[in-house]
Amino acid sequence: MLKLALIIGSTRPQRFADTPANWIVEGAAARDDFSLEVLDLRDQNLPFFEEPMSPLFTGGAFSHPAAEAWRHKLAKYDGFIVTAAEYNHGPTAALKNAFDSAFNEWRRKPVAFVGYGGVGGARAIEQLRGTAIELHMAPIKAEVNISMEPFLGILMQGKKLDDYDYLVASRGTLFDEIAWWANALKAAREA
């Protein structure tokens, strides 16, 4: 069975990220083709990238113990789903830093995004796709975009993500696609 990680990409005290993260976990519980483990960036204690040289020149090793622990944790997963808050048309600094705090462990693995914000986190996701490609990851096309209407519906009207059929359908497509890509890339890595 595939092992996927859900990375919660916001560390703010009053973050919205827990809402989509819990919803992704609930949806993944019905799947029998992968297991999903949550990696909350709040719990990783990652310093901002401060390596004396690029991990490209160190074989992927990091000098900071928290970054070393992070990269070793990532190594066991076959793919990643990431919640991406959009701040000022981009991803959170904590999330970008988490991508920068590993190297080889991302390589040849798929990544999918669940974005939220004014345009469903699309601008943050677009920047993260470029980062993922540079890390030799395979960002999949399918994504979930929680735009302002459901965002406000949840915060102000007591709605739930399941109240939006198009989001539920997007989540299902994301799960199908990441499982397909994770299987294909795992087989290729093992070959």
Tens digit of each residue's pLDDT (9 = 90 or more) over 67-82: 999 999 999 999 999 9
Expressed in angstroms, the distance from the first to the final Cα of the chain is 17
What percent of the chain is predicted at pLDDT more than 90? 91
Using pLDDT thresholds of 50, 70 and 90, give the confidence band for residue 54: confident
Q: Let me know if 114 is exposed, middle or buried by CB neighbors in 10 A (0-12, 13-18, 19+).
A: buried
Whether the predicted model's global pTM rises above the 0.85 cut: yes
**Per-residue pLDDT, 88:** 92
Distance (Å, rounded) from C-alpha 115 to C-alpha 86? Answer: 7
